[in-house]
Amino acid sequence: MSERHQFGASEEMYLKTVFVLAETQDPVPVTALAERLKITTVSASEMVRRLQERDYLEHTPYKGVRLTAAGERQALAILRRHRLWERFLSDHLGLGWARVHDAACELEHLTDEEVIDALDRFLGWPESCPHGNPIPRVGELESATAGLPLSALRAGDEGVVLSIRKEEAVLLAHLDAHGVRPGRRFRLVEIAPYDGPRSLQIGDEMQVIGRKVAEGVLVRKDGPEDV
């Protein structure tokens, strides 16, 4: 049995989620894992135990979990499948930018590597998904998206949106409705008192997004990155 087919959809979701959360939390608290997957901490702890027994996770009590080398390899393969499907659904089927994430979450668990390799070739080996996140290449570590969180910028700063770090359907739909998408230029006009909502000028329109939302948007700031 291939390593790919030793995993069910639930186990793959755990590994992918640990990888994504580890970008900002290392080790990843089990409570954070449970919150992202919308399950109980007890359920998350049980799956962590199972994956640790199979040497895909390392768990340090009261601190959190990390992927082992084998776990990271699996997580990258899952992300590759997910982001390639997002690219196909967006570019060739015309599904909305905010809609493709959930559809790709279903397809990523149903597709073997031969099909994914063919899909990669068909798409011309794209570098990123529609949300600006890099598509891992076989045998390579994921290259982190350069950039600053929008929440780190000051009033008056200008730049361009690079990627949406936290891919969730509700969040993507919210950002889409406010015109916050990779490639869009913006000016941060105002930050409400006490680190409150951000007012952005995008094109001819003014948009307002909350601080927590801004934390998940990576941008390239014009001029020195001295924030």
As given in the structure block, the two tokens for residue 103 are 């559809």
CA distances from 49 to 55, 104, 194, 197 (A): 10, 27, 41, 39
pLDDT tens by residue, the chain, 227 residues: 345 446 688 899 999 999 989 988 889 999 999 998 999 999 999 999 999 999 999 999 989 999 999 999 999 999 999 999 999 999 999 999 889 999 999 999 999 999 999 999 999 999 999 999 999 987 665 555 678 999 999 999 999 999 998 888 899 999 999 999 999 999 999 999 999 999 999 999 999 999 999 999 999 998 755 44
Question: What is the C-alpha to C-alpha distance for residues 29 and 61, in angstroms, rounded to an integer?
Answer: 9
